[in-house]
Amino acid sequence: MDAGSNGIVVLFIAALLYLLPTLFAAARGNSNTLAIFALNLLLGWTVLGWVLALVWSLTAVAKPPRPDRRKMRPCPQCAETILADARKCKHCGSVV
């Protein structure tokens, strides 16, 4: 390897390390990935900005609980899945 290709490899590794918080957020499916990327890109050069982006990307993302599939049924009008106890379909608005 010559000096030019060594420099490219070092630059690539440095870019990966710099964007590590963004990569973590994207891999974890964080809903704030774009905001983490902006913080990482704009303030990552300050060590504090990079650490904040890293911590934010590793925090747990609270996902809304999914309804139990056993408590679901199809709407008789539109066939979309609704809660078994529903009185009105949220998709088509028909009374069930």
Q: Are strands 72-74 and 81-83 parallel, antiparallel or unpaired?
A: antiparallel
Q: Which residues of 9-95 form beta strands (DSSP E)?
A: 72-74, 81-83
Q: Provide the mean pLDDT of the chain.
A: 90
| pTM score of the predicted model | 0.61
Radius of gyration of the chain (CA): 23
Backbone angles phi, psi at 82, to 5 degrees: -135, 170
**Residue 61 binned pLDDT confidence (cut-offs 50, 70, 90):** confident
**Residue 1 binned pLDDT confidence (cut-offs 50, 70, 90):** low
